[in-house]
Chains A and B, each alone.
Chain A
Amino acid sequence: DAKTTQPTSMDCAEGRAANLPCNHSTISGNEYVYWYRQIHSQGPQYIIHGLKNNETNEMASLIITEDRKSSTLILPHATLRDTAVYYCIVRASGSGYALNFGKGTSLLVTP
């Protein structure tokens, strides 16, 4: 799996958009970008994944740069319940079953 780099922590005001960046400059052509989050005392939660096109679902949007070396997860209207650690993972199909979370970004949403 390609190495990813994320900021250690970020703050966001409630109701505003939270933009979480991830650098993955060594990504290969067959590797997808996945985002998970883990709210305190809960299990990790899958958010979204993408290859090269921007993706949107009911939870978030994923913007991947044209060269695929970085991406941004966007929570359009952050709520207090979005306070969590967010993990960006890059992996290809068949690269093994174990998910390897790095240190992630600790997002604090404030009132």
Chain B
Amino acid sequence: DVKVTQSSRYLVKRTGEKVFLECVQDMDHENMFWYRQDPGLGLRLIYFSYDVKMKEKGDIPEGYSVSREKKERFSLILESASTNQTSMYLCASSLLSHTAFDQPQHFGDGTRLSIL
């Protein structure tokens, strides 16, 4: 089974701090994703990466950056945390699709981040 592991289930940080969320996958997937999930707003894509050192902005990249130095690891960085970044953060991975359908995305269990 695909295993996507996020470094923390719960995290509490203060406004203005630089926050790092780590994600590791063990299935040699090319694609990795960071989403945030908020009640009533559903899942929103922050960034994704299709290869080492490659990244693309998603729908809500403002206030975030990412790093992918190794294929299995994708980090989300909150440059200067703010209270409106309090959310559930979900990492996902998938194979690169060479077929007519999108490869399914496999998710970690999420990090519930609170910014005080």
**Chain B residues bordering chain A, tally (CB within 8 A):** 26
Question: Are A43 and B109 interface neighbours, CB within 8 A?
Answer: yes
A44 → B minimal CB distance (Å): 5
Name the interface residues of B32-62: CB closer than 8 Å to any CB of A: 33, 35, 42-45, 48, 56, 58-59
Chain B nearest CB, measured from A1 CB (Å): 10
Chain A positions within 8 Å of B35 at CB level: 98-99
Give chain A residues whose Cβ lies under 8 Å from the Cβ of B45: 97-99
Chain A positions 40-56 with a Cβ under 8 Å from a chain B Cβ: 41-46, 49, 51
Minimum CB–CB distance from B5 to chain A (whole Å) comes to 11
Contact B48 A34 (CB under 8 A): no
A-B CB contact pairs (8 Å), 7 listed: A41-B109, A93-B99, A97-B31, A98-B45, A98-B58, A99-B43, A100-B42
Which 5 pairs, one residue from A and one from B, show the smallest C-beta to C-beta distance? A43-B107, A98-B45, A46-B104, A32-B101, A44-B107
